[in-house]
């Protein structure tokens, strides 16, 4: 059963593949970007509007960092929920990101169940909003 499309943005290929595997097992379609610049290009390149029900984003990204990418996403895709997945937790940074509108803040390495629950909640909230 198709649960939705999730966009994973992380510079660590192993993380992208592992998170993608967990999401695919949970019924989600997965698209990926290796850095913030690639993510912005993917969002801007779709002339009919970028389609994802949730975005999972690292903070420490090359080219365009996660904070700037999330600002871009909030501007271009305000209804799409963003989940931060980071290996470098920072309370002040997390507070700032929640003010920007992220819906969850997960710490690497995470558990598969925690990740799936966060995505389900995010997509459920999007359905209620949208």
Local confidence band at 70 (pLDDT 50, 70, 90 cut-offs): very high
Using alpha carbons, select from 31, 41, 36, 89 the residue that is nearest to residue 61. 36
Give the pLDDT score at 17.
96
**By the 8 A CB rule, do 45 and 21 touch?**
no
What are the extents of the domains in the chain? Answer: 4-129
Angle at the Cα of 65 from the Cα atoms of 4 and 21, rounded to 5 degrees:
35
Q: Is the pLDDT confidence value at 76 over 80?
A: yes
Local confidence band at 126 (pLDDT 50, 70, 90 cut-offs): low
Instruction: Please give the share of the chain, as a percent, with pLDDT higher than 90.
Output: 84
Model confidence, pTM: 0.91
Q: Is the pLDDT confidence value at 36 over 80?
A: yes
Q: What is the pLDDT of residues 102-111, one digit of tens each?
A: 999 999 988 9
Give the end-to-end CA distance of the chain in Å, rounded to a whole number. Answer: 21
Mean pLDDT of the chain: 91
Fold annotation for 4-129: Rossmann fold (3.40.50)
CA distances from 46 to 39, 49, 52, 80 (A): 12, 5, 12, 15
* Distance of alpha carbon 123 from alpha carbon 52, whole angstroms: 10
For residue 7, the cross-strand partners are 31, 55
Using alpha carbons, select from 9, 1, 82, 81 the residue that is nearest to residue 41. 9
Is the preceding omega at residue 78 within 30 degrees of 0, hence cis?
no
Q: What is the pLDDT of residues 10-30, one digit of tens each?
A: 999 999 999 999 999 999 999
């Amino acid at each position: 059963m198709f649960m939705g499309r999730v966009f994973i943005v992380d510079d660590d290929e192993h993380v992208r593949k592992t998170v993608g595997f967990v999401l695919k097992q949970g019924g989600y379609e997965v698209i990926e970007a290796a850095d913030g610049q690639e993510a912005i290009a993917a969002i801007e390149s779709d002339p009919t509007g970028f389609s994802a029900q949730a975005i999972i984003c690292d903070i420490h990204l090359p080219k365009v960092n996660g904070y700037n990418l999330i600002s871009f996403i909030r501007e271009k895709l305000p209804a799409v929920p963003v989940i931060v997945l980071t290996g470098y937790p920072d309370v002040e940074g997390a507070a700032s990101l929640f003010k920007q509108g992220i819906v969850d803040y997960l710490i690497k390495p995470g558990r598969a169940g925690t990740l799936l629950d966060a995505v389900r909640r995010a997509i459920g909230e999007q359905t209620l909003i949208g």
